Amino acid sequence: MTEPRSSDVERELNSCLKALQDRFAAAWQGREKEALISLVRVLDQVAAASLWKLDAHDEASSPKARMGSAFARMGAGAALRPFLSAVRDMPGGVPWGPSWLKAQQYSYSYLHVCGELTFLRRMAALERYGLASSERQGPGCFRIETAGSVPELAMMAATRALRERLTESDERAHSDAEWTRIHARMARYVDTPDGWFIRYDNDWEIVSIYRDAAWQFGRSFLEAEALPDDVVIGDRRFGEWKHACEQALGRVLAHMNFARLLQKKVPAINLSDVLTIFATRDDVRSVWEEAGIPRTRIPATMRALTLEIDGLDDWDNAFETPTPFHVDLGRDFVLLPCFGALTNPYFALFRHLRQSYRADWDRGVDRREEVFRADLARLFAEPRFVVPPRGFRLSRSDGTLLTDIDAIIIDRECGSVALVQLKWHDIFGLSLSERESRRRNIAKASEWTAKVAEWVGGRSSQEVLRRLRIDAPASDRPPLLYVIARYTARFSGDEGQDTRASWLGWPEVQNAMADAFVASDPLALIPEQVMNHQKRYESPVLEDVAFRFPGLEVNLRMRVSH
């Protein structure tokens, strides 16, 4: 498919961003390593403030104020680009010293504006997919209006609610008393050698508790369930790759708390100076070798986890904040940031695995259906429900294959039956091209719906089970048709989904099952509950936000839900 041409506003935004990068690069000419350190320090402080909930805004704040730190993070790739280009293979040491306040303020402002421009570039790119419109309002002045995203907002809210319940019920969480004891020991271990930097000792109990914390933290990221843990990717199981990420994340979380404890101990300490640290490439290789990565695999693994100029286009094209464990600082050194691991501890490595071991990855993807069906059986559990442990083939009258049914849910209590197609694809984040790919793939379920509806005809649920040789009681009502996507099932701007099926995201199904409203007939009432929840995000409210840059003004009109 031919890629649509960039719009006028996209070209102006790209030109404005390039001019901003050039101005900032000129201001730091000859001190590119210092610029890179300053920018990463700001990104780490922003990420830490978000984790520690120090950047909260009142709901009455303006949209731009509420998105302040988000803009800074979103601008990371664009802001770092000129300096990653300059330091590639640069010899020499690390110009390490205390932060200079004006330099930090300048770096934050630059990151923030890069983030605003990146955000607007994504809003403008929505027009290619029919989700926005733009127009020129005058010289250097544009207007972008985005369509609503009600189904996707509802799905994101359902996912957040599910994560909160998961966190509350986590049996591996440590008690407050245990954390108090650990933090007291960490405070004794940490000190400053010179009044502005950090040093500390460690012990196995601290390492262990922060690995547990990393495991808990990682559970909130959808990549953690990308494949079954026992799938072999390259030379190890997927669960072992995750464990390597969690070891690295555990080190980041522990370091951040050592830094915070040092500041409590020595209030003059600037967190910007101690959150970001650096290391030699040789030392980093040794750490990954200790984590169990075979020596022959370490160069490729480090490339995957290091933000360098060569890999920056992938992040930029997806409008994503890069998620590195290391940032290139020349031939011999790397920075060890916090912001990448906190943004997503798995994404960079998993993208590397998917690209480098495609055949292994695809074989692992084939296992997702059985995992999904097992999850379905746990949610719709015996003795009330029956979920057969396999899928079923539907045949035409001449015996040829019509389609498959991935799962069947039978409610013994009220006789309802649901015939289910399961959809589980890699998540798409902020990438519009990947979002479009997932939307097109989910849309194919309309063909499945039509075929199954034709096969069912006027049969009752009892007759359908009999035809499939399933011995279970069922009602005289027709079976329900479900399309259940692991993530997003309904997309904004997609009007072509066959309404004979209910299109449901897996978190939405899980949340609906927790509602007493559905208890009398869950299979019939879950779709109603999901759509009732979605209505909370339907609103005619419009927000107008003005963005002004040198020689360019963009007025953004967004449909928002309150």
Strands 132-138 and 141-146: antiparallel
280-289 long-range Cβ contacts below 8 angstroms, 24+ apart: 280/332, 280/333, 281/332, 281/333, 281/334, 284/326, 284/334, 284/336, 288/244
- One-letter amino acid at 165 equals R
Distance CA 421, CA 111 (A): 44
Query: Which residues have a Cβ under 8 Å from the Cβ of 254 and sit 6 or more positions away?
Result: 186, 202, 206, 207, 210
Per-residue pLDDT of the chain (562 residues; tens, 9 = 90+): 445 567 999 999 999 999 999 999 999 999 999 999 999 999 999 999 999 988 755 555 555 556 778 999 999 999 999 999 999 999 999 999 999 999 999 999 999 999 999 999 999 999 998 889 999 999 999 999 998 788 888 898 888 888 777 666 555 568 889 999 999 999 999 999 999 999 999 999 999 999 999 999 998 898 999 999 999 998 889 999 999 899 999 999 999 999 999 999 999 999 999 999 999 999 999 988 887 778 888 888 888 899 999 989 999 999 999 999 999 999 999 999 999 999 999 999 888 888 889 999 999 999 999 999 999 999 999 999 999 999 999 998 888 999 999 999 999 999 999 999 999 988 888 889 999 999 999 999 999 999 999 999 989 999 999 999 999 999 999 999 999 999 999 988 777 899 999 999 999 999 999 988 889 999 999 999 999 999 988 876 788 999 999 999 999 998 765 5
Q: What is the pLDDT of residue 163?
A: 78
pLDDT score at 1: 42
Q: pLDDT tens across 188-210, in order? A: 999 999 999 999 999 999 999 99
Distance CA 142, CA 134 (A): 7
Distance in angstroms (rounded) separating the CA atoms of residues 456 and 478: 8
Residue 2: predicted pLDDT: 47
Q: Give the CA distances from residue 174 to residues 170, 171, 431, 526, in Å, rounded to whole numbers and listed in that order.
A: 9, 8, 36, 35
Q: pTM to 2 decimals?
A: 0.91
Give the separation between CA 41 and CA 34, rounded to whole angstroms.
Answer: 11
- Give the Cα-Cα-Cα angle 200, 205, 208 (nearest 5 degrees): 100
